[in-house]
Structure 1
Amino acid sequence: MADINVTPLVDVMLVLLIIFMVTAPLLTAGVPVNLPDSRAKALDQEKQPIELSIDDQGRLFIDKDEVSEADLPAKLDAIANKAAGQDQPPQIYLRADRGQNYGRVANVMGELSRAGLTRIALVTNAGEGGGANAR
């Protein structure tokens, strides 16, 4: 009798599934930023957001690309113009290092608002559970 034993195949597939489930959250890391803690719940997200990061040295990043202070308004205008045909502006995740002063973060938020990008979420570390969440 020639039967195929599928039990080892199922075992291997389950191990691979677990490996992918564990490593997938690690692949989303971008610019290293020391985020503040918060107890707020995470936002539900249907589209991939745009990440705007301010690191501990004050450098600006859009997703993983560094942007100078002078080029920021033009880059934000380009993002807003790209999304002009949509019913709402894209979601912006603002990640600022906890060492940055409030004025620096407020200036960046002002530039976002000026460009018409008003769906801004501040990213913080979860208080008890760990991991980064958008608020």
Structure 2
Amino acid sequence: MVSSGTGSGERPGGSALSEINVTPFVDVVLVLLVIFLVTAPMMLRGIDVKVPKTETKNVGPEERLMLTVTKEKAVYLDDQPITLARLEGILVGLRQRNAKAAVFLRADEGVAYGVVVKVMDAVKKAGIERLGMVTEPIPPVAKGR
């Protein structure tokens, strides 16, 4: 066996590397953090719907299934387009998994009443008893008018 001559177990080129330089790692992490902070609001963009205004308060935040009806009469289930026939089947499965399941309906104020009633009927046919309507509160200044 050939020895390097140091005899103390050190590396032939000098002492062993005992510390890792974390400065480049921190720089990369900070750049990624800034990128995520800038792009995160863009990723959370939902479907634009102008909901009617009411004087009562909205339901507090909780985990929920959101149905949206746009002014073009398109129906979305949590940002995914869906037909009424398929919606009923999905909601039946939801009710079977969770008997106290709640569905919240956001409908554009320009949508015909009949379209909203058809969506509500599909929810009721699926056996979901808890159906909430999403509205926007009227600003305090506009209430007196």
TM-score bucket (shorter structure): 0.5 to 0.7
Greater C-alpha Rg: 2
**Deviation (angstroms), 1:70:** 2.9
TM-score normalised by length of structure 2: 0.61
2:94 equivalent in structure 1 = 79
Q: After the TM superposition, which segments of 4 or more aligned residues of structure 1 sit over 4 Å from their partners? A: 24-29
Q: Determine the C-alpha separation between the residues in 1 that align with 2:42 and 2:133.
A: 20
Give the number of the structure with larger relative contact order, counting CA–CA contacts within 8 Å between residues 6 or more apart: 1
TM-score normalised by length of structure 1: 0.65
Sequence identity percentage: 26
Root mean square deviation of aligned Cα: 2.4
Superimposed CA distance per residue, residues 49-93 of structure 1 (whole angstroms, 9 cap, x where no aligned partner): 110000111111111111023312212212222214xxxx22211
Counterparts of residues 1-135 of structure 1 (less than 5 Å): 30-45=46-61, 47-84=62-99, 89-128=100-139
Count of aligned pairs: 102
Structure 1 stretches lacking a partner, 5+ long: 1-19, 130-135
SS of the residue aligned with 1:92?
strand
Superimposed CA distance per residue, residues 23-62 of structure 1 (whole angstroms, 9 cap, x where no aligned partner): x9998652211111111112235x4111000011111111
More strand by share: 1
